[in-house]
Structure 1
Amino acid sequence: MTYPNTLIFVDLTSDDPAAAGEFYAAVFGWENDPRPKGVFHRMVPGQNFLNPDKSQSQIGNLHLGIHNAANARPHPDPEGVAPRQVAETGRKARIWVMVSDDDSVERILGEAVKRGAEILWRNHFWAEFNGFNDAFRDPWGNEIILWGKGGDSPQVPDDYTRE
């Protein structure tokens, strides 16, 4: 078998990439790297994945892009192609974010809501992947799932939904 193709980037759509970049910088503490501002923003989570002993590994964190719905770059035609707006109905991209040990779901959701996000659900445990999760929809319709590992013997509070 050959070496598998590697996922290098995921983009979210926005009709205002500059505002979306500011949103994710405030909510998650990520670096907002406009390339160029308002056209494409690369969100840089910073640092590397952690080893079990909490030291940084050699593996850098994945980056997230935010492209402009009016003219998603790159594209061979400098004018881009239709559609040129954020999708209004149906499912959109979902991204999963591991909540850092030195952050909290409450802080993240508070910042997100303050900036126009809508909470989709709170306090859920998914046994199949041993994780606690909460979710919100950003102002552009993208769904963000906040994830926390359950650990070896997860203690699921009584008020949590489960699957």
Structure 2
Amino acid sequence: MTNTLIFVDLASDDPDAAGRFYAQVFGWENDARPRGEYHRMVPGGFFKKSDGTDSEIGNLHLGIFKAANARPHPEPAGVEPRSLSTDGRKPRIWVLIGDDDSADRILGAAASLGAELLWRDHYWAEFNGYNHAFRDPWGNEIVLWGKAGASPEIPESFTRE
């Protein structure tokens, strides 16, 4: 069996607020375990097969950990650094826009909750998708992915690569 990616964690100085943010923006379940220290965001469901039925592959969960004391760790008090990273590039989290949602709704909800819109309306031909991005209030970059389909009609206003 190969090594399996099971979680991606984002840092926050307020995991409770970050959990509420992602629940409102994406509609994910905010599973606080323990509240304010670590929150597991559960998108629910399974990846779909081409016929629309559920596959056996569950959606990846997202964790939000408290930067001041990232758990788990062998040292009960944690270790440095205890602050959010602010300089340079950090990992980006990619989120597939659901068929029953839209980039406009997601970006609007994120901005209304304090996120910074980074860019929008871009088509990436290499992977045939529409992309948009925002930075959450804790500095994490989220890239939205919209399926372009078999014969995409790229709006004139979109940038392209």
Q: Does the pair score TM above 0.5?
A: yes
TM (norm. structure 1) is 0.96
1:49-78 superposed Cα distances (whole Å, 9 cap, x missing partner)? 112121222221110000000000000000
Cross-structure match for 1:40 = 38
Match of 1:153, SS?
coil
Aligned partner (choices 113, 116, 119) of residue 115 of structure 1: 113
Compute the RMSD of aligned alpha carbons.
0.8
Cross-structure match for 1:161 = 159
Distance in 2 (alpha carbons) for counterparts of 1:138 and 1:89:
15
Identity score, percent: 68
Distance in 1 (alpha carbons) for counterparts of 2:5 and 2:63:
13
Distance in 1 (alpha carbons) for counterparts of 2:100 and 2:147:
14
Q: Where do 1:11-22 residues align within 5 Å?
A: 11-22=9-20
Stretches of structure 1 that go unaligned for 5 or more consecutive residues are: none
Moved over 6 A (4+): none
Distance in 2 (alpha carbons) for counterparts of 1:60 and 1:106:
26
Distance in 2 (alpha carbons) for counterparts of 1:73 and 1:144:
23
Cross-structure match for 1:28 = 26
Distance in 1 (alpha carbons) for counterparts of 2:89 and 2:38:
22
Match of 1:70, SS?
helix
Stretches of structure 2 that go unaligned for 5 or more consecutive residues are: none
How many residue pairs get matched? 161
Match of 2:105, SS?
helix
1:102-126 superposed Cα distances (whole Å, 9 cap, x missing partner)? 0011110111000000000010001
Match of 2:71, SS?
coil
TM (norm. structure 2) is 0.97
Residue 34 of structure 1 deviates from its aligned partner by: 0.4
